[in-house]
Structure 1
């Protein structure tokens, strides 16, 4: 099989710092994949807010060799199951699924269709819990740890966040609950108010990939309190966590 081309697909953000850290992750992934001989080229695109969009990425990447799309998203929700799947079908992919779900199944293809494969999202993954744990301060016995997630109208995305809360609880050997800014899950603001009654600090573990709107909301939620908010998973534009690069690489290998 010829080397695949890779489309790294982020959500997109209007935050300048958010864009820079996503670009840093894409750069680190590109260097890793090319040095290992796993890709012929890598291109960054977005499902919302920014350009190029998914259609532009698929148009720009070679049509005569496999294309693997990796959603730089933490949970599988609407963007994964609708936006990306529809873009793949529109570009000539067989059914928009490819290796979705960890590479267990390759899409059926006809001679006229393109070989476009969609991997699973970055999360849930136990390695993300390791990064989240490293972002936390030294915890006191009374501290209440809350996984602060964006939330979604898609229950599959919220369920994935609940799974990550369990992974973080296992990593820390202490309870962790998940709270959501939006969608159908338990509201983050309500959980913070409830946990404040325990007497300890509320420590919000930011389950976001990059700075932006939801990180700002979480920051406002704990303003003028002794509660704590950790940075998102990507906090330094100069260096992406090696575990995140490893997760992306594993998603691609699963689709080969």
Structure 2
């Protein structure tokens, strides 16, 4: 098969933003809100959504459509907050299949969204919108989904440390809705036991669904003052996703870089 024409300045490399996917319709709505912000920021880009599970379209068919329409290069960006199984195994397996089917197609694989300081900006935005400001008597529980990958869980602990260093919180600790400890309720209780007068839960998830509901329910049961919404369409996430796109474009090679 003859190679299609390469992208040009008038037709920049398209971007496929790949999210996890969920049976909860709130999740897809949040992802679409994020992608809408990205399109507003970069109207010249062909930006498409794809999902690893539960929701159509999937990455293989989305990239296949681009290849069929003449794209010679595609940037695939995992819209995931941490690098774990989905970005290290699931999505690369899909891209290997794409590469086998379209050997002439240049695939550039972007980094996951996190870790990055812009995500802390987004967390702070959600806290402020929830009526919470840094105070020596207020503790924050940074609650993520949790992973079987210890390195991914360590990223959340590191982010909690970085968030605590930014402002005058009583403390900031990590919690996880699954796979590891502490859970949200345990972390909230521990913060009160360490002397915090008020504990708030910052939801470190891209989109609402099973885990966000679990975090809110468990945190409330332990007396959390409030739980912030998921990060969703925060402008910082749109900026970061496009930054990952630009980083991937600047690197040579096909799939596997820059991981």
TM-score range, shorter chain: 0.7 to 0.9
1:12 is matched with 21
Kindly state the Cα deviation for residue 185 of structure 1 after the two structures are TM-superposed.
4.6
Give the secondary structure class of the aligned counterpart of 2:243: helix
Cα distance in structure 2, aligned partners of 1:172 and 1:131: 15
1:171 is matched with 166
Residue correspondences, number? 231
Q: What's the CA shift string for 1:151-175, capped at 9, x where partnerless?
A: 1011232122222212322322433
* Cα contact 2:147–2:180 (8 A) shared by 1: yes
Cα distance in structure 1, aligned partners of 2:157 and 2:61: 33
Q: What's the CA shift string for 1:101-156, capped at 9, x where partnerless?
A: xxxxxxxxxx9442111111111111111121122213442222111111101123
| Alignment partner of 1:53 is 2:58 | yes
Give the secondary structure class of the aligned counterpart of 1:233: coil
Scaled by the length of structure 1, the TM-score of the pair is 0.82
1:125 is matched with 116
| Alignment partner of 1:159 is 2:154 | yes
* Cα contact 2:72–2:104 (8 A) shared by 1: no
Cα distance in structure 2, aligned partners of 1:93 and 1:162: 38
| Alignment partner of 1:144 is 2:139 | yes
2:48 is matched with 43
The counterpart of 1:231, out of the listed 218, 229, 232, is 229
- Cα RMSD between the aligned structures? 2.1
* Cα contact 1:124–1:160 (8 A) shared by 2: yes
Flag as ranges the 4+ runs of structure 1 deviating above 6 A. Answer: none
* Cα contact 1:76–1:160 (8 A) shared by 2: no
Cα distance in structure 2, aligned partners of 1:199 and 1:28: 37
Kindly state the Cα deviation for residue 226 of structure 1 after the two structures are TM-superposed.
5.0
* Cα contact 2:139–2:196 (8 A) shared by 1: no
Cα distance in structure 2, aligned partners of 1:170 and 1:61: 44
* Cα contact 1:124–1:163 (8 A) shared by 2: no
| Alignment partner of 1:78 is 2:71 | no
Unpaired runs of at least 5, structure 2: 1-5, 250-259
The counterpart of 2:248, out of the listed 231, 246, 255, is 255
Kindly state the Cα deviation for residue 189 of structure 1 after the two structures are TM-superposed.
2.9
Give the secondary structure class of the aligned counterpart of 2:67: coil
* Cα contact 1:93–1:115 (8 A) shared by 2: no
Structure 2 CA distance for partners of 1:88 and 1:220, relative to 1, 3 Å:
same
Unpaired runs of at least 5, structure 1: 95-110, 235-239
Of stretches 56-65 and 244-253 in structure 1, the one that deviates more from structure 2 is 56-65
